[in-house]
Amino acid sequence: MEDNRKVLIKEFFANLKVEVTQAEYSKVWPGWRDMDYIPGYNKFYFICDGEGWLKIGDEEYYPKRGQMFLMPEGVMQSYSTINSNTFTKYWCHFTAKIGDLNLFDIIKVQDYIEVKDYVYVENLFKKMISSGKGYGIASVLKENSALLELIIYFIENSTVERKVPVKSESLMRLKAITDYIEKKLKENITIEELAQVVHLHPNYLIRFFRKHLGMPPIHYINRRRIEEAKRLIIASSDETLADISSKVGINDIYYFSKLFKEYTGFSPTQFKKMVNSQPGRIQNT
C-alpha cells in the first residue's frame, strides 16, 4: 500500500505543471486590504520589511521580515495593512496543477515558513521577476524553474501532510491502470480493456484518467511508447526503426514516424543521427 502510494505520487508529480502569472517586488499601498475572498490562483508572499495582517482560512498572522507565506488557491483569505509602515515584499501569483487537481489540494503544507536562507529565496524571486519580463522560450522556462525551486524550498522547509483528497480507491484504480499500460505497452491497448481492468464504463474511464493524470489515456500511452522508442534508439543503433516501432506496440511505421515527430519534434531518423553524432551527450530528452 505504502509502496503503491509512492509510485503514484511520483506519477502525479511527473505531471506537475507550474505557471507564474505575476511576480513583483513592491511596497504595498496604505489602502492594501481585501476581506474574505477566494482566489483562483496560489500566492507566495516573501516579506522583506513592514507590518500587516493576513488571514488564511481560519488562521490569522502578523507576518515578519524573512517569513514566506503561501496563500493557496481555493482557500478563503483576507489581508490588510495595520499602520503606515506597510509591507515591502516579493510576491507572485501562480498555478501548480496536476491534471485538474491543485498541488496544494494533494499535499497540505504550512501556511508560512521561516526563511533561513534569505538571500537564496530573494535571488529566486529576482530570477523569476527578471525572466518574467523577458520574451522567448528560455525566459518562460527560467521563470517557471525559479517558481519550482521556490515551491520545493517551501515544501522542504514545511511539515507536509498528505491530504488524500483522492480516495484511496481512486488511487488504487489509477495504479491498476498505469500498471496495466506498462505491462502491455508492446501490445495493442484499447480503452475497453483498461475500463475492464478497473470496472468502469469506458467513457467514464477516460474522464477519470484525465482528471488524475492531466491527459487522456491515449496520450499517456503514446507518450510512454515514444519514450520507450527513444530509449531503444539510444540503446542500439543497429535496429531498424520498423523493429523499434513494433517493439513499442506500434505496428504501423507510417504512424510511428508521425507520432514520433509529434511528440519529440524530430523524425526518428533525425533523432537517431543526433544520438549517433553526439555519443554520450544525449541521455534522454
**Binding window for DNA (CB under 7 A); candidates: 6-14, 62-70, 121-129, 183-191:** 183-191
Nearer to DNA, 6 or 201 (CB): 201
Do residues 209 and 217 make contact, with C-beta atoms less than 8 angstroms apart? yes
- Binding string to DNA for residues 94 to 133, with x set by CB under 7 A, is what? ----------------------------------------
Nearer to DNA, 163 or 201 (CB): 201
In the complex, the smallest distance separating the C-beta of residue 276 from DNA, rounded to whole angstroms, is 12
In the complex, the smallest distance separating the C-beta of residue 121 from DNA, rounded to whole angstroms, is 38
Give the residue carrying C-alpha cell 474511464.
205
List the one residue out of 285, 279, 272 whose CA is nearest residue 241. 272
Do residues 18 and 147 make contact, with C-beta atoms less than 8 angstroms apart? yes
Total number of residues binding DNA (CB under 7 A)?
36
Answer for which of 218, 223, 235, 265 binds DNA (CB under 7 A) is: 218
Do residues 42 and 104 make contact, with C-beta atoms less than 8 angstroms apart? yes
CA–CA distances in Å: residue 108 to residues 101, 163, 164, 197, 246: 13, 6, 9, 31, 44
In the complex, the smallest distance separating the C-beta of residue 20 from DNA, rounded to whole angstroms, is 25
Contact flag: residue 190 with DNA (CB under 7 A):
yes
In the complex, the smallest distance separating the C-beta of residue 274 from DNA, rounded to whole angstroms, is 11
- Binding string to DNA for residues 227 to 266, with x set by CB under 7 A, is what? -------------xxx-------xxxxxxxxxxxx-----
- Binding string to DNA for residues 195 to 214, with x set by CB under 7 A, is what? -----xxxxx-xx--x----
Angle at 104 between CA 212 and CA 147, to 5 degrees: 105
DSSP for 193-227, please give it: HHHHHHT--HHHHHHHHHHHHSS-HHHHHHHHHHH
Nearer to DNA, 162 or 258 (CB): 258
In the complex, the smallest distance separating the C-beta of residue 191 from DNA, rounded to whole angstroms, is 4
- Binding string to DNA for residues 263 to 282, with x set by CB under 7 A, is what? ----xxxx------------
**Binding window for DNA (CB under 7 A); candidates: 41-49, 67-75, 137-145, 188-196:** 188-196
Helices (H), 107-136: 118-133
Give the residue carrying C-alpha cell 493576513.
54
Do residues 38 and 75 make contact, with C-beta atoms less than 8 angstroms apart? yes
C-alpha span between 81 and 66 (Å, rounded): 18
C-alpha span between 59 and 180 (Å, rounded): 44
Under the rule (CB under 7 A), what is the footprint of DNA?
188, 190-192, 200-204, 206-207, 210, 216-219, 222, 240-242, 250-261, 267-270
